[in-house]
């Protein structure tokens, strides 16, 4: 029987359910582009901006919502954010125009960054010091599962019942997550008061934190140079038929589900080594992907390895920021979630620019590897900075 120390707190599963819903919403449009564009009378490129609008909402909302709610109990904040998420998806399900759907997507996105940021702080407060990164990884398992199950299931619903049905389903997940958070997350009356806002802002402005945020942006951006264009890479370069795209993407999701806990365990063992090592593994996979993309079996294999390497970086990147900003854990954690979304937008833009300038689809893995290599250089600078904290962060108790 597992000891009390090793048993996973039920609250982590509640956070994972919320992460599953949010992750499904973030990428659901990828599987609904054709239905949305046809039904709302816009072209595919315009429909694709619903993904960009969401990312901008996350990036803008993370610091603003975190600062606005910094003095509230964390459990109440999580419940309020999940209520916002649920209402936003309800508005998406009821939307009858492109403008209404875009507005609803942005509303939904406002909850994203602060939920993961505050959720990471709550997750680390529930476990012993040696399991903090694994606790973050448990919450992010919901995000990996969203890619593996939630997005394909939403695409299936959109195909058979219309795109509105996918948002009704995510709305139901939001209600379930609210109930789980209300029941399983412990009360937060004993929380310490947050530091003064000026103290938090100074903590965020410190060099180790800024280097950590930049590491997240560039280290993770390489993924989306490739992943944004994974469908044409599979069909036009490797020669897969359209029907095989979804199964190969399931392989990517399975890799994410495997890589996420691995990254957590590595970070619990040695954070500095995990920070650089997981990014180096991601860069290596991207390099080999450049050779593997021309054959079906090898691109399928390395799509799975790409998913694994991608999510192995998440817990180390998130815990590094928490460790460097002990005076502002929620704000720093939320900003890092915004940095992940900025990386998504940057990677997609770099890939688009490369294709527009004639580099071609086959050049994308090499460009992606160079971008991630820049993230590794930033991580090395962060580790060498004498002001970087090598001590563990004492996260406030939930």
CATH number for the domain including 182? 1.20.1250.20
Write out the residue range of the structural domain in which residue 185 sits: 10-193
Q: Are residues 320 and 221 in the same domain?
A: yes
Structural domain ending residue among the three candidates 165, 193, 221: 193
CB 79 within 8 A of CB 182: yes
Which of 161, 193, 225 is the endpoint of a domain? Answer: 193
How many structural domains are present in the chain? 2
Residue 4 is assigned to a structural domain of this protein: no
Are 203 and 283 part of one and the same domain?
A: yes
Average pLDDT over residues 226-232: 83
More confident residue, 189 or 223: 223
Q: Which residue has the higher pLDDT, 48 or 230?
A: 230
Of 9, 54, 10, 12, residue with least CA distance to 260? 12
pLDDT tens-digit series, residues 137-194? 888 888 888 888 887 888 788 878 888 999 999 999 999 999 999 999 987 645 555 6
The Cα–Cα gap between 7 and 4 comes to 5
Q: Does 347 map to a domain?
A: yes
- Please report, for residues 16, 123, 140, 392, the alpha-carbon distance to residue 105 in angstroms, rounded to integers and kept in the order given: 21, 27, 21, 37
* Mean pLDDT, range 68-97, rounded to an integer: 92
- Domain assignment present for 393: no
The pTM assigned to this predicted structure is 0.77
In this structure, the answer to whether residues 239 and 127 fall within a common structural domain is no
Position 1 in a domain: no
Q: What is the pLDDT of residue 392?
A: 41
List, for residues 288-336, the tens digit of each pLDDT value. Answer: 999 999 999 999 999 999 999 998 998 899 889 888 877 777 788 888 8
Residues 123 and 199 in one domain: no
Residue 57: its pLDDT value, please?
87
Residue-level pLDDT at 354: 87
- Say if CB 107 and CB 84 are below 8 A apart: yes
Query: pLDDT tens-digit profile of 40-56?
Result: 988 766 777 787 788 88
Cα(118)–Cα(121) distance, rounded to whole angstroms?
A: 5
Examine the domain organization and report whether 327 and 256 are in the same domain. Answer: yes
pLDDT at 118 over 70: yes
Average per-residue pLDDT for the chain = 85
Q: Is residue 248 part of a domain?
A: yes
Residue 198 lies in a domain: yes
Decide: 233 and 378 in contact? Cβ < 8 Å. Answer: no
Q: Are residues 204 and 321 in the same domain?
A: yes
């Amino acid at each position: 029987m597992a000891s009390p120390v090793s048993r996973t707190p039920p609250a982590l599963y509640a956070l994972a359910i919320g992460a599953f819903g949010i992750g499904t919403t973030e990428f659901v449009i990828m599987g609904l582009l054709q239905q949305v564009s046809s039904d709302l009378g816009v072209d595919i490129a315009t429909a694709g901006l619903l993904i960009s609008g969401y990312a901008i909402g996350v990036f803008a909302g993370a610091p603003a919502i975190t600062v606005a709610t910094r003095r509230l109990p964390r459990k109440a904040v999580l419940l309020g954010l999940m209520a916002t998420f649920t209402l936003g998806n309800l508005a998406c399900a009821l939307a009858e125009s492109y403008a209404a759907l875009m507005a609803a997507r942005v509303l939904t996105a406002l909850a994203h960054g602060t939920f993961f940021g505050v959720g990471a702080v709550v997750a680390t407060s529930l476990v012993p010091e040696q399991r903090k990164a694994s606790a973050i990884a448990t919450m992010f398992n919901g995000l990996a599962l969203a890619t593996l199950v939630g997005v394909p299931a939403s695409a299936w619903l959109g195909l058979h019942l219309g795109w509105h049905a996918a948002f009704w389903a995510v709305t139901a997940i939001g209600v379930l997550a609210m109930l789980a958070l209300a029941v399983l997350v412990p009360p937060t009356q004993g929380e310490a008061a947050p530091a003064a806002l000026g103290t938090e802002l100074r903590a965020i402005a410190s060099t180790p934190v800024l280097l950590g945020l930049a590491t997240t942006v560039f280290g993770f951006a390489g993924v989306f140079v490739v992943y944004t264009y994974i469908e044409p890479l599979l069909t036009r370069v490797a020669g897969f038929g359209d029907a095989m795209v979804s199964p190969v993407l399931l392989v990517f999701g399975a890799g994410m589900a495997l890589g996420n806990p691995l990254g957590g365990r590595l970070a619990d063992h040695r954070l500095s080594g995990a920070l650089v090592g997981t990014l180096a593994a991601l860069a290596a996979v991207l390099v080999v992907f450049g050779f593997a993309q021309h054959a079906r079996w090898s691109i399928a294999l390395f799509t799975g390895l790409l998913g694994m390497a991608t999510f192995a970086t998440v817990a180390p990147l998130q815990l590094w920021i928490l460790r460097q900003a002990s005076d502002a854990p929620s704000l720093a954690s939320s900003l890092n979630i915004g940095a992940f979304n900025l990386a998504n937008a940057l990677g997609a833009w770099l890939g688009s620019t490369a294709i527009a300038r004639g580099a071609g689809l086959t050049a994308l893995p090499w460009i992606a590897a160079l971008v991630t290599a820049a993230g590794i250089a930033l991580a090395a600078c962060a580790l060498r900075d004498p002001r970087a904290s090598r001590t563990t962060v004492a996260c406030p108790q939930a």
